């Protein structure tokens, strides 16, 4: 399964610049099999997600969330759909403990985007993967991200971090299986993040 695990829309992310339907159509045009809606500090309500999924049956749409932590880091959480479990500026211990209690998956999104060093409260918390390639990961960040992944002993992921249709699918990963639910996707990330294949489907399609 070729999946973009970091996608925003104008429906629930203030910085999103395209409607969910536009983003879903762009994901299909990019050759993706699936995408994860990771709005800022907001999980899509079931009925809104259901209507979008019905409209695009050939694209698997998962629900996740991008959580802003107390120390200003951003984390993608997949596998937990209950509203109210996360909030903006949640402290790292509560965030990671809640993820573990529910056997969800947590990905450190674009670390070092805003600062060159991470505070101990962040370094002491091990995610299941670290985002290595995205529209918001600069080349100078990647050596630090690799060091961080080695520090945690976790895998790397790639995702677009798309806020508009032109970026959807710019980066993605090839999953070793075809999960049907968010919980199954979380299990794959928790247990097989080291097997993920980082790809750039749009670059490859363009022959670059």
* pLDDT per residue as tens digits for the range 174-208: 999 999 999 999 999 999 998 899 998 876 543 33
Residues linked to residue 75 through DSSP beta bridges, in sequence order? 67, 108
**183: part of which helix (H) or strand (E)?**
helix 182-192
Burial 105-128 (b: 16+ CB within 10 A, else e): bbbbbbbbbeeeebeeebeebebb
Distance, CA of 92 to CA of 63 (rounded, Å): 21
% of the chain exceeding 90 in pLDDT: 93
In the chain, domain spans: 2-205
pTM of the model: 0.95
* pLDDT per residue as tens digits for the range 50-102: 999 999 999 999 999 999 999 999 999 999 999 899 999 999 999 999 999 99
Task: For the beta carbon of residue 54, count every other beta carbon within 10 angstroms.
Answer: 9
What integer pLDDT is reported at residue 202 of this predicted model? Answer: 77
* pLDDT per residue as tens digits for the range 23-61: 999 999 999 999 999 999 999 999 999 999 999 999 999
CATH class of 2-205: alpha beta
């Amino acid at each position: 399964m070729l999946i973009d695990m970091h996608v925003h829309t104008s429906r629930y992310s203030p910085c999103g610049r395209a409607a969910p339907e536009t983003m879903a159509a762009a994901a299909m045009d990019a050759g993706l099999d699936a995408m994860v809606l990771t709005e800022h500090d907001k999980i899509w309500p079931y009925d809104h997600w259901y209507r979008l999924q019905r409209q695009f049956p050939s694209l698997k749409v998962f629900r996740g969330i991008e959580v802003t932590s107390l120390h200003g880091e951003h984390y993608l959480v997949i596998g937990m759909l209950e509203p109210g479990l996360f909030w903006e500026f949640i402290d790292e211990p509560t965030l990671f403990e809640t993820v573990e209690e529910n056997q969800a998956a947590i990905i450190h999104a674009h670390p070092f985007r805003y600062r060159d060093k991470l505070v101990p409260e962040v370094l002491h918390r091990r995610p299941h993967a670290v985002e290595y390639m995205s529209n918001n990961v600069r080349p100078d960040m990647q050596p630090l991200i690799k060091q961080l992944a080695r520090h945690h002993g976790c895998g790397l992921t790639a995702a677009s971090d798309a806020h508009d249709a032109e970026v959807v699918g710019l980066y993605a990963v090839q999953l070793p299986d075809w999960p049907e639910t968010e919980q199954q996707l979380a299990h794959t990330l928790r247990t097989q993040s080291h097997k993920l294949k980082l790809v750039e489907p749009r670059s490859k399609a363009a022959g670059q």
